[in-house]
Every structure is written in structure tokens, then in C-alpha cells.
């Protein structure tokens, strides 16, 4: 029932300033401004690649203000797209989940899903021509104490085939869990993982905030150009090799509190079950 990671929701104390920063760093484009009374927030929407980013600024007490007050900031909800919003809402209802209906969207708190820390926003699927330096978002990372429970719940609630999920483990970053691929032929997924190695960055974050959303990942068709832009406008705000054309990380301070991993097109298949699908820099497998 899910087609793709369609958008990311983040919280910010100054939505306009964060939108301007995304425009400067990755050539994102502002596409809308409105309010979301149910979340007590004003919203600036930008397009980055073929995806959108919703920047929420609190207008009073509510979940957006609470998210900022907690000290987290950054990713507030993982945005997914479906071809039939009403059918998905009905399916969730049969599973005992009552979404919060926004204007043309469904907001699903982790408490309603039974998946602590995984707040989700569901939108109708829309095809967009990419803009800027990014191609699209394809992953949101969810930190949990029980990745097996979370991945099973994601499969059940959204009618996903868990046979296509990919087990993942990183000794470098100290986590394990699953990539809940929405479709076998695309990278779009929730990465639901348990940070098991105490003392590492991800585990420290988990120790402080508990189950939560941690970061997101995007693809690009021109990683060298992304890197060149970062060197120019945020020289201390990214991590990666100047000789590696496969991927890099943009630090939270650069893009309004959200950490963004950026990989070149197809390269994430390296750790996503199909390394045979990775093309080289010239586009050849």
C-alpha cells in the first residue's frame, strides 16, 4: 500500500530560515506555506529533488513544540505516499489504528501505530519532476529497542511483504535491524534499527531520547556537485572523502537540525540486498 518515501517532516524554531538554508545548500524550492492547526504549527513546504520537506514551526503548545522542547529537533515524521489514502485509512482502522486526519494527509503517531518513536505522515502519491541537487529521499532511520517488533508491525499495518525486507548490521556504527523495503524493485523504506554498541554516536542519541527518528537518506545524480556546494557554503558541515563519489553525510547544523545522508544513484543497493543493481559512476552495472 506504500509507494515511496515521499517527504520528511522536520521541526524548526524559524521555518523560513531553514527553508532558505535548504535552498542555498541543495537548490531546494519553496512550494507552499500554510498552517497545520492539528499540530499547532505553521508549515513551509519545499521541494528537494522529486520529494518534499515540510518544515514545521510551532504556533503554540502541541506536538511540534514538544519535539523542539525535548531538545531533539530534526526529523519529526517519516512521510510516505500511497495510491489510495482512503483505502489505507480503512485498512489501518481494521488494525485498530485511527489516523489524525489533516488536510489531505494522515498523521500517524507512533503511539497509535504501536511502534514507539515512529511518527508517520501519509500523503497521496504525486509524481514530481526533480529540482535541485538531490534526486529524492528514499529512507528514514528509526531507532528502537526492538527492531524485530517494529519491522513486523510495519509489514502488518501497511500490507508490505516482509520477504523483501533486508537485514542490516553495521559494526562501524554499532546497530542492527531491518530495511523495510516497500517494493522489491525500489530503495524506499524505513530503516528500523537498534543501536547496540554503547558509547557510539547513535547509541548516545538513543540513550538520551529513546525510540525516535534519527536521520534520513537521499540520492543524487551528481555527488561531486553536491560536495562542491558543501565545500563552498558549509565547509565544516559535512563528512565524506573528497575522492569518494559514492556518498557523504550532511551534518544537522547545516540543514536546520536534520542529518542527511546522500548517496549517488543506485549505490545504496550495496547494503540493500542487491549489490548487482549498483551502477558505476559512468552508469554501467
Q: Tell me if residue 37 falls in helix, strand or coil.
A: helix
Kindly tell me if the per-residue pLDDT of 208 is higher than 70.
Answer: yes
pLDDT at site 73: 82
- Quickly count: other Cβ atoms within 10 Å of residue 281's Cβ: 12
**Domains in the chain with CATH codes:** 4-124 (3.10.180.10), 136-277 (3.10.180.10)
Between CA 31 and CA 229 the distance in angstroms is: 22
Nearest alpha-carbon partner for 210 in 190, 228, 227, 195:
195
Q: How confident is the model at residue 1 (pLDDT cuts 50, 70, 90)?
A: confident
Sign of CA dihedral 37, 110, 44, 208: positive
pTM of the predicted protein model: 0.96
Task: Say what the pLDDT of residue 284 is.
Answer: 61
Provide the b/e sequence for 121-141 (b: ≥16 CB within 10 Å): bbbeeeeeebbbbbbbbbbbb
100-145 confidence digits (pLDDT tens): 999 999 999 999 999 999 999 999 999 999 999 999 999 999 999 9
pLDDT at 55: 98
The pLDDT assigned to 71 comes to 86
Q: What is the mean pLDDT of residues 77-87?
A: 97
Res 35 pLDDT > 90: yes
CA distance 244 to 26: 19
Strand arrangement of the beta sheet that strand 106-108 belongs to: 29-36, 41-48, 51-58, 4-11, 74-82, 120-124, 106-108, 100-101
Task: List 216's β-bridge partners, or say none.
Answer: 140, 260
Q: Is the pLDDT of residue 7 over 60?
A: yes
Polymer length of the chain: 285
pLDDT bucket at 57, cuts 50 / 70 / 90: very high
Q: E strands within the chain?
A: 4-11, 29-36, 41-48, 51-58, 74-82, 100-101, 106-108, 120-124, 136-143, 166-170, 175-179, 189-195, 212-220, 238-239, 247-250, 259-264
Tell me, what's the pLDDT at 285?
59
Average pLDDT over residues 203-232: 97
Amino acid at each position: 500500500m506504500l509507494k515511496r518515501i515521499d517527504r520528511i517532516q522536520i521541526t524548526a524554531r524559524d521555518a523560513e530560515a531553514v527553508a532558505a538554508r535548504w535552498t542555498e545548500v541543495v537548490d531546494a524550492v519553496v512550494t507552499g506555506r500554510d498552517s497545520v492547526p492539528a499540530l499547532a504549527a505553521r508549515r513551509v513546504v519545499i521541494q528537494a529533488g522529486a520529494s518534499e520537506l515540510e518544515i514545521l514551526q510551532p504556533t503554540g503548545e502541541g506536538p511540534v513544540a514538544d519535539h523542539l522542547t525535548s531538545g531533539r529537533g530534526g526529523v519529526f515524521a517519516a512521510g510516505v505516499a500511497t495510491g489510495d489514502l482512503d483505502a489505507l485509512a480503512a485498512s489501518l482502522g481494521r488494525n485498530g489504528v485511527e489516523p489524525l486526519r489533516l488536510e489531505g494527509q494522515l498523521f500517524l503517531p507512533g503511539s497509535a501505530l504501536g511502534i514507539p518513536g515512529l511518527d508517520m505522515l501519509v500523503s497521496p502519491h504525486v509524481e514530481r519532476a526533480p529540482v535541485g541537487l538531490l534526486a529524492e529521499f528514499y529512507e528514514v532511520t528509526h531507532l528502537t529497542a526492538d527492531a524485530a517488533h517494529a519491522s513486523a508491525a510495519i509489514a502488518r499495518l501497511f500490507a508490505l511483504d516482509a520477504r523483501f525486507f533486508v537485514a542490516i548490521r553495521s559494526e562501524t556504527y554499532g546497530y542492527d535491524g531491518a530495511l523495510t523495503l516497500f517494493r522489491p524493485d525500489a530503495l524506499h523504506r524505513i530503516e528500523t534499527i537498534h543501536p547496540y554498541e554503547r558509547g557510539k554516536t547513535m547509541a548516545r542519541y538513543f540513550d538520551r531520547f529513546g525510540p525516535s527518528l534519527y536521520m534520513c537518506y537521499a540520492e543524487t545524480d551528481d555527488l561531486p556537485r553536491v560536495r562542491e556546494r558543501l565545500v563552498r557554503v558549509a565547509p565544516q558541515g559535512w563528512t565524506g572523502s573528497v575522492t569518494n563519489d559514492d556518498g557523504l553525510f550532511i551534518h544537522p547544523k547545516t540543514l536546520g537540525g536534520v542529518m542527511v545522508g546522500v548517496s549517488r544513484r543506485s549505490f545504496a543497493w550495496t547494503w540493500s540486498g542487491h549489490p548487482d543493481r549498483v551502477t558505476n559512476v559512468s552508469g554501467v552495472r
